[in-house]
A = this chain, B = another copy of it.
Amino acid sequence: MSDDSLSRVFAALADPTRRDMVARLAVGDATVGQLAAPYDVSMQAVSKHIKVLEEAGLVSRSRDAQRRPCHLEAEVFDLMTKWIERYQQRAQERYRRLDAVLAEMNDGAAHTSNDNNNNHNPGLDPTITGAAS
């Protein structure tokens, strides 16, 4: 659900042409023809790109006679930012915890000096196989 929409957003932005279009739309709304102008591809190809951006929720299209002005929807960026920040934070927390463990090891314990630690993954949290979604 939210998973699928995140996939669409990331996939939409994985294409440099589409990222460039987002950059242009951030400056102001534009029609398909205006968006197509700087590239040497057909308008149909650009129309397809816009469709991808639209289905990802990044862009909305309205009507103005024959023209279809495209508008950037900024809210979707929040979705991405939240996802990224979550794992960014977790990774940073993990570093802090690892530092703490290393400090503790240096501090009080030398009895685990050999690798008889049957978990061969240093720093591996056993909850890793648990729920993570």
Contacts and interface: CB of A to CB of B under 8 A. Distances in A.
Interface residues of A, number: 56
Contacts of A22: 87
Main SS of the interface on chain A?
Answer: helix
A124 interface: yes
Given A28-B127, A129-B38, A87 B120 contact: no
Interface in A18-53: 19-20, 22-24, 26-31, 34, 37-38
Given A34-B128, A81-B85, 17 more contacts: A3-B16, A6-B16, A23-B132, A27-B90, A27-B125, A27-B128, A27-B132, A29-B122, A29-B125, A30-B124, A34-B124, A37-B129, A67-B120, A69-B124, A74-B87, A77-B87, A78-B88
